[in-house]
Amino acid sequence: MKVVFIGAGNVATNLAKALFLKSFDIVQIYSRTTEAATALAKEVNAEPVTDLPLVSADADLYIFSLKDSVLEGVASQIPSNSGLWVHTAGSISLDVLSNYTSHYGVLYPFQTFSKNKTIDWTDIPIFIEASDSHSLSIIRDIAQQLSDKVDTLVSDERKLLHLAGVFACNFVNHMYSISKTFLDKINLPFEVLLPLINETAKKVHTMSPQEAQTGPALRYDENVIEKHLHLIEDDKIKEIYKLLSENIHRMSK
Amino acid sequence: MKVVFIGAGNVATNLAKALFLKSFDIVQIYSRTTEAATALAKEVNAEPVTDLPLVSADADLYIFSLKDSVLEGVASQIPSNSGLWVHTAGSISLDVLSNYTSHYGVLYPFQTFSKNKTIDWTDIPIFIEASDSHSLSIIRDIAQQLSDKVDTLVSDERKLLHLAGVFACNFVNHMYSISKTFLDKINLPFEVLLPLINETAKKVHTMSPQEAQTGPALRYDENVIEKHLHLIEDDKIKEIYKLLSENIHRMSK
């Protein structure tokens, strides 16, 4: 199966490498920048492309892994072809590709990816959707070669799942970033947080997050909360602390 | 070494059990409620106590693990004795015990505890502080029997560490709780989040949280952000989403 990747970011990089390991024939990697196209193309033995008109028209599968805001614009410039077009975005409808091709779908891996961190795909939940049952079965077959957890999900539900991911991943990681600013002030290395971070993630494997909640906000210990607000110098972070504490208390009731 | 626990909450329960396994002689467990005192006392072969005047005066070590707001009030009612008094609170000064006894200190395990979840103490960072060098060496000896990571930390710095913990644990767990509300809407089990939660925690073992940050807020993809805000029905959670997205973008610069 000949595959073209449109995009060379975090998802494209991880997905292209995973498919390459499963012996898919990655023929081209398109990216706006030569650097990104070349870097990924090298790893999966493909041709780097930076001009959309040069995208090959005879591949079987076109995988679009792009920033949401440019996806449709790029899709509209791909030379017409009879391959299956698939995008990997959590928050974009299946239909976004419908004006440009007849067979299309979604393969959404529910995970966070970084270019330089290889990841085991086996337990990544992959949610799929397609324009027609034949396309769906092709996408399912590809997804099942990567993961044991493949399921269909319609666009509207996938958008809510993506939103859930923003909280459980992007916002969680931002909490780590803010936490680090306090450690920096007292010259403690970030490593001191790792057992706490690990245990916090581990706890919700065996209890619900509601049951796992601890801390001054849950008890609404105003004494501690006031002292903490006093310790926080940055106004935005003070506001975040207040809002999250109030909401923890509210949701505990 | 005879030990009395003042408190039978999450920290007291985990610390008492860990010391019991290291052959410390836990003589009494005080709690306001008979139920809590009895439950923990049973597990560590101690006497449950619910009246402060009945707290034994001949123990070597008194460990105060109480809600911050009641710590000083309870300490003031302990029958006078010559033991070493130690509290386990992140956000309370060493000095809180100074009006009631002459030898006192802090043993702060930087971890999240739940009563019914046993935890390995070996890699929990424990931060200690004391009124005098003899007390400090006793506390260090106890802490080192539990953990390989024992260090001194003064009260003002411990307070910032505790604040760092609120973000990295309490607020992170709250993000999991909010995330669950979206999964509930589409009838997906919480388990679908676990690979993402695990990877998000794992990433910061090998890269800084700033480097690990991904998602629409980082790119400030207004298209996705607007769509997400539209999907969130609850006003408070909408506000949290906005504030965190703005702050991720601000801190990325």
Backbone angles phi, psi at B50, to 5 degrees: -120, 0
Q: At A5, which helix (H) or strand (E)?
A: strand A2-6
Where do the CATH 1.10.1040.20 domains begin and end in chain A?
158-252
Which CATH architecture fits B2-153?
A: 3-Layer(aba) Sandwich (3.40)
The pLDDT confidence band at residue B117, using thresholds 50, 70 and 90, is: confident
Neighbours of B45 (CB within 10 A): 10
- Percent of chain B at pLDDT exceeding 70: 100
Question: Angle between the A155-165 and B222-231 helix axes, to the nearest 10 degrees?
Answer: 100
B219: closest chain A residue by CA: A67
The confidence score (pLDDT) of residue B69 equals 87
For the segment B137-159, what is each residue's pLDDT rounded down to a tens digit? 999 999 999 999 999 999 999 99
Q: How far apart are CA B83 and CA B59, in angstroms?
A: 6
Which residue, among A233, A247, A227, A219, has the nearest Cα to B162 in the 3D structure?
Answer: A227
* Greater model confidence, A114 or B174: B174
Superfamily of domain B158-252 in the CATH hierarchy: ProC-like, C-terminal domain (1.10.1040.20)
Most confident of A107-121, A137-151, A219-233, B109-123: A137-151
Encode B165-195 in three state secondary structure. HHHHHHHHHHHHHHHHHHHHHCCCCHHHHHH
B194-237 pLDDT, tens digit per residue, is 999 999 999 999 999 999 998 888 878 888 899 999 999 999 99
CA–CA dist B119, B143 (Å, integer) = 15
Query: Residue B100: which pLDDT band, with cuts at 50, 70 and 90?
Result: very high
- Check CB contact under 8 Å for A213 and B174: yes
B214 contacts in A (CB within 8 Å)?
10, 112-114, 169-170, 173
Give the pLDDT score at A253.
84
Asked if A201 lies within 8 A of B196 by C-beta distance, the reply is no
- Residues B83-112, mean pLDDT to the nearest whole number: 97
A209 min Cα distance to partner chain B (Å): 5
Mutation choice for B interface testing from A69, A179, A218, A230 by most B CBs within 10 A: A179
Q: Say if the Cβ atoms of B240 and A244 lie within 8 Å.
A: yes
Torsion angle, alpha carbons of A86, A91, A95, A98, to 10: -50
Q: How confident is the model at residue A22 (pLDDT cuts 50, 70, 90)?
A: very high
DSSP letter at A105 equals: E
Q: What is the mean pLDDT of residues B72-92?
A: 97
* Strand segments (E) across B7-162: 25-30, 47-49, 61-64, 84-87, 104-109, 126-130, 150-152
A8-22, B115-129, B214-228: the lowest-pLDDT one: B214-228
Q: What residues form DSSP beta bridges with A151? A: A127
Q: Least CB-CB distance to B243: which of A91, A112, A243?
A: A243
pLDDT score, position A212 = 92
- Position A221 scores a pLDDT of 82
**Assigned token pair, B172:** 């992170």
Q: Is B67 exposed, middle or buried (0-12, 13-18, 19+ CB in 10 A)?
A: middle
Which residues in chain A have their CB less than 8 angstroms from residue B110's CB? 192, 195-196
Q: What is the reported pLDDT for B121? A: 97
Q: Are B173 and A204 inside 8 Å of each other by CB?
A: yes
The pLDDT score that the predictor gives to residue B27 is 98
Residue pair A240/A248 in contact by the 8 Å Cβ criterion: no
Residue B205 CB partners (closer than 8 Å, separation 6+): A194
Decide if B196 and A112 are in contact by the 8 Å CB cutoff.
yes
Per-residue model confidence (pLDDT) at position B222: 86
Whether A167 has its CB under 8 Å from any CB of chain B: the answer is: yes
The verdict on A176 touching B (C-beta cutoff 8 Å) is yes
Q: Where in chain B is the domain with CATH 3.40.50.720?
A: 2-153
* Cα angle, residue A208 at apex, residues A203 and A209 outer, rounded to 5°: 75
- As for the ipTM of the complex, it is 0.95
Percentage of chain A exceeding pLDDT 90: 92
Q: Is the pLDDT of residue B7 over 90?
A: yes
**CB burial readout A206-219, b (16+ within 10 A) else e:** eeebeebbbbbbbb
Q: Quote the tokens at residue A246.
A: 């109030």
CB–CB contact B243 A240 (8 Å): yes
Q: What does the pLDDT read at residue B219? A: 79
pLDDT higher than 90, residue A215: no
Q: What share of chain B is helix, strand, coil (3-state, %, to 5)?
A: 50, 15, 35
pLDDT band at B13 (very low <50, low <70, confident <90, very high): very high
Q: Is the pLDDT of residue A117 over 90?
A: no
- Confidence band, pLDDT 50/70/90 cuts, at residue B132: very high
Asked if the Cβ–Cβ distance from A112 to B199 is below 8 Å, we say yes
